[in-house]
Structure 1
Amino acid sequence: MADELEELWKKLSFTNEEDANIVLGSGSTKAAKDRGKNCLVMKVLSSRSIMLDSLRKNLRMIWKLNKGVQISVLENEMFMVEFGDEKDKKKVLEMSPWSFEKQLVLLQKFKGEQAPKEIQLARSPFWVQIHNLPLKSRTGETGKAIGATLGEVLDVDVAESGVQWGTCLRVKVSIDVTKPLCRGKRVTIEDDKSRWVLFKYERLPNFCYKCGLLNHDLKDCPENLGPAKMQDTQNFQYGLWLRGDIISR
């Protein structure tokens, strides 16, 4: 509807009265800004329609909030989430990513300068496990360097010494979900020969084994594979092996 109106406006010739500019001061936005401090903008990364009642019920259950939450439709599967407690909002953000019906839920802090149709939710935090690193590279510096090639580094799971032994090195990264999942990288350490390090993603929702995108799964892939090819998962470039078990910090 908004796109149709925009196209209509382009064709219109405005009268002097219509073209007169209305100047709105800070007083006109204060109430919305104050309420927005406890709000998040949310989108479910799905090609299917979202049932609002089901979404509300599911998120209230998994978020386990101290106080209530209101979820309102903004536009085109985009929602406003208003928390009754700022601590609840902070917890929900820190524990991201979340999913609804196995589809990724994107969350963004309230800013207010954009109309809903102008808001682009395209990033989500993930704990990424980096496998096949030599022991000498299980450091915070390594995590930051590799994580920075995936997106904005939010955290690295290392001890106070800056080193973390274990099955892998973990880094929390805000990744661009409009791109295919990155499966790994070639890394050269101290001028040694390069090696392939494998990435696994914790709490990874549905994604397409054909193209690696998070906005649909295999059966909804626009490439329209057909039933026979959908069963031949061994020839796909992506798979279950990208899912990492959740590791406690």
Structure 2
Amino acid sequence: MVEGVAQVPEELITKGRSLWKDYVVGFFLEQKLPYPVVRELLRKKWKTKGDYEMVVDVNLFYFKFSNEEDKRKVLEMAQIYMAGKRFIVTQWSQDVEKRKNTVKAIPIWVNLHDVPKDLWNGEG
């Protein structure tokens, strides 16, 4: 304690960061679905080769994968839809809780079919 304020040793912070750096974080942009529903839907969508640990706090879902290939595959998906709700997946970072509340837009891939050639330009 310094002047009534608890001081956290830097080595404790470093230890915590090294523990969480392997986690993947997921969150809903809209209303959150219940844990059992999310667990079951992700099991079906991700079809991982190995196991993963899943924990949740008020807003975020945390995942630790036993298989690095599974982790990479999930991070490449970046987002999925569950029950019509968008679920964003990202690598854990120190500021992930803050960033979650600032997400206003996300890029999505769109496939357009049978677009007329006269629209194949910047404006079109």
| Matches of 2:2 and 2:8, distance apart in 1 | 16
CA contact (8 A) 1:106 1:124 kept: no
Number of residues of Structure 1 aligned to a counterpart in Structure 2: 120
Letter paired with 1:83: F
**d(CA) in 1 for partners of 2:76, 2:117:** 27
Pick 1 or 2: higher relative contact order, CA cutoff 8 A, min separation 6. 2
Please tell me the root mean square deviation across aligned C-alpha atoms, in Å.
Answer: 2.9
Q: Which protein is richer in strand relative to its size?
A: 1
Please report how far the alpha carbon of residue 32 of structure 1 lies from its aligned counterpart in structure 2 after TM superposition: 2.9
Matched, 1:71 2:54: yes
Q: What are the Cα deviations for residues 150-206 of structure 1, in whole angstroms up to 9, with x where unaligned?
A: xxxxxxxxxxxxxxxxxxxxxxxxxxxxxxxxxxxxx2xxxxxxxxx3xxxxxxxxx
Alignment-mate amino acid for residue 110 of structure 2 = V
Distance 1:101 1:18, change over 3 A: farther
Q: TM-score, normalised by structure 2?
A: 0.73
| Gap runs ≥5 in structure 1 | 1-16, 143-186, 188-196, 198-249
C-alpha contact 2:75 2:89 (8 A) present in aligned 1: yes
User: Which consecutive aligned stretches of 4+ in structure 1 deviate over 3 angstroms post-superposition?
Assistant: 129-137
1:40 aligns with 2:24: yes
Q: Distance in 2 between matches of 1:62 and 1:120?
A: 22
Aligned to 1:82: 64
Work out which of the two has the higher radius of gyration on C-alpha atoms and give 1 or 2. 1
TM-score after normalising by structure 1:
0.41
Q: Aligned partners of 1:96, 1:105: CA distance in 2, in Å?
A: 8
Secondary structure of 2:93's aligned partner:
coil
CA distance in 2, matches of 1:98, 1:87: 18
- Aligned-residue sequence identity (percent) comes to 19
